[in-house]
Amino acid sequence: METKKESGKGKKSNLTLENRKKMVLSGVLEVISFDDKCIALDTTLGTLTVRGQELKMNKLDVQNGDIIILGQINSCVYTTTESKKDKESIIARLFR
């Protein structure tokens, strides 16, 4: 079965955090890795890393890209997949 990654343009992603104990997330393309302290997800907006304690994936709907994470959530960090060429510094542009 072939999987197709869709770009973040035009796709919606929502993140709801309730009392740092329950996270509801949509727009998930793939679960990269998970354990009870860290869950890494590929989303339509980039890679999302969720860190905490006693983390569990309660509901994973692959068709719709929805997931519910339970546990003590300490941080959520998005990492974009933009290329460095798009973000050239002013100095790099001056010395072309």
What's residue 76's pLDDT? 94
Distance CA 34, CA 56 (A): 9
pLDDT digits (tens, 9 = 90+) for 2-19: 344 444 455 788 999 999
Architecture of domain 15-81: Sandwich (2.60)
pLDDT digits (tens, 9 = 90+) for 29-61: 999 999 999 999 999 999 999 999 999 998 888
Which residues have CB under 8 Å from 9's CB, separation 6+?
none
CB 79 within 8 A of CB 45: no
At 5 the three-state DSSP class reads coil
Distance CA 56, CA 46 (A): 21
